[in-house]
Amino acid sequence: MRVGQNPAKNIKTVIKPSRITVAVLNYIPNQQGYFAQSFAVLQRCLESILENTQRPYDLMLFDNGSCQEVKQYLLDLQASGRIQYLIFSEKNVGKGGAWDFIFNSAPGDIIAYSDNDAFFYADWLKESVKILETFPEVGMVTARPLRTISELSTNTIRWAKETPEVKIEEGDFISYADYYEFSSTLGYSDEKLEKEYKNKKDIRLTYQGVQAFVGANHFQFVGWKKTLQSITPFDMQKPLGQVKQLDDRLNAAGYLRLMTTKPLIQNMSNQIPENSRKAKDSSSQEVFKVKNIPFIKKFLLSIHDRIFTLYYGK
């Protein structure tokens, strides 16, 4: 028999979720090797969101099987009211599994998704939402201009060419400095980056007074929840390596893939950026130079990949 009445019956109103859910996907299984600085990167990511995002929004974090120290940090953030929705997965369900959960459970009408290694600048969300709400049938908006794969934005270009109200410009609008600042964090050689930059052009669209570049990136984007729901579930056999399914599906369904015209986010990758760390001594600088010689870097990364797969590939 029930004893007494549930006190919740006396509550007359409930707090409604914000229209925008900022959702971060996190995975830090340990704090060694590749992940040695990932905890600090995650902290920098979340701090930049909390400091540089205009309210109202709810912060959701999906943890994909991280170590206990990281989990406790996230629990502390939730207890202090800085994370509104915190989800722990016992095992790494991959990015596809995490996207399935986030896109279908985030309470907001707009989902602002990010990996755990992005650094956010002021106005990133406001400028992204402006594009999302101005252009029709938008699938995703990334808060930084990049030179992306044109085959993943064919329907964006088709729409622009078929819409008389759209002004289309093609050229070198993204400076090499801005291009290099982001792309150099992806592990490519300077020679490859220079070649990629020279072989690609930027396409800038102006629609109803709002400008955006053609293209987007799945590491960070803003989109309508109903649109992102429509392309689930994802079928990925690996945690990473098949994430372009998101880009492919949005493009195939006719949705626009767009970017802001100013860099409003930066990718930190798995290390805190150099300019925010203490100066290294001369010996460590020499080690840094040696380890980044292309053939040595390739060899060391191949060994790391094999070790990582051995311990965490299942």
98 pLDDT above the threshold of 90: yes
The pLDDT value recorded for residue 280 is 31
Average pLDDT over residues 264-290: 59
Average pLDDT over residues 130-159: 96
pLDDT tens-place string over residues 35-78: 999 999 999 999 999 999 988 999 999 999 999 999 999 999 99
Of residues 284, 22, 39, 256, the one with CA closest to residue 132: 256
13 pLDDT above the threshold of 80: no
Average pLDDT over residues 283-297: 47
Task: Sketch out the chain's domains with CATH numbers.
Answer: 20-267 (3.90.550.10), 278-312 (no CATH)
Average pLDDT over the chain reads 88
Q: Can you tell me the distance from the alpha carbon of 246 to that of 140, in angstroms, rounded to the nearest whole number?
A: 10
The pLDDT value recorded for residue 196 is 87
The pLDDT value recorded for residue 302 is 63
pLDDT tens-place string over residues 161-203: 999 999 999 999 999 999 999 998 888 889 999 998 998 999 9
pLDDT tens-place string over residues 149-160: 999 999 999 999
213 pLDDT above the threshold of 50: yes
Instruction: Read off the pTM.
Output: 0.84
The string of DSSP letters for the chain reads ---S--GGGG----PPPPSEEEEEEE----SSGGGTTHHHHHHHHHHHHHHH-PSS-EEEEEE-S--HHHHHHHHHHHHTTS-SEEEE-SS--HHHHHHHHHHHH--SSEEEEEETTEEE-TTHHHHHHHHHHHSSSEEEEESS-----GGGGHHHHHHHHH-TT-EEEEE--S-HHHHHHHHGGGT--HHHHHHHHHH--EEEEEETTEEEEE--BTTEEEEEHHHHHHTPPP--SSSSS-THHHHHHHHHTT-EEEE-SS--EEE-TTS--GGGSPPPPHHHHHHHHHHTSHHHHHHHHHHHHHHHHHHH--
> Between 271 and 105, where is the model more confident?
105
Q: Would you say 202 and 258 are in contact if contact means Cβ atoms under 8 Å apart?
A: no
The pLDDT value recorded for residue 307 is 61
Confidence label for 139 from pLDDT (cuts 50, 70 and 90): very high
Q: Can you tell me the distance from the alpha carbon of 285 to that of 274, in angstroms, rounded to the nearest whole number?
A: 12
Confidence label for 90 from pLDDT (cuts 50, 70 and 90): very high
263 pLDDT above the threshold of 80: yes
Tokens of residue 252, six digits = 């195939």
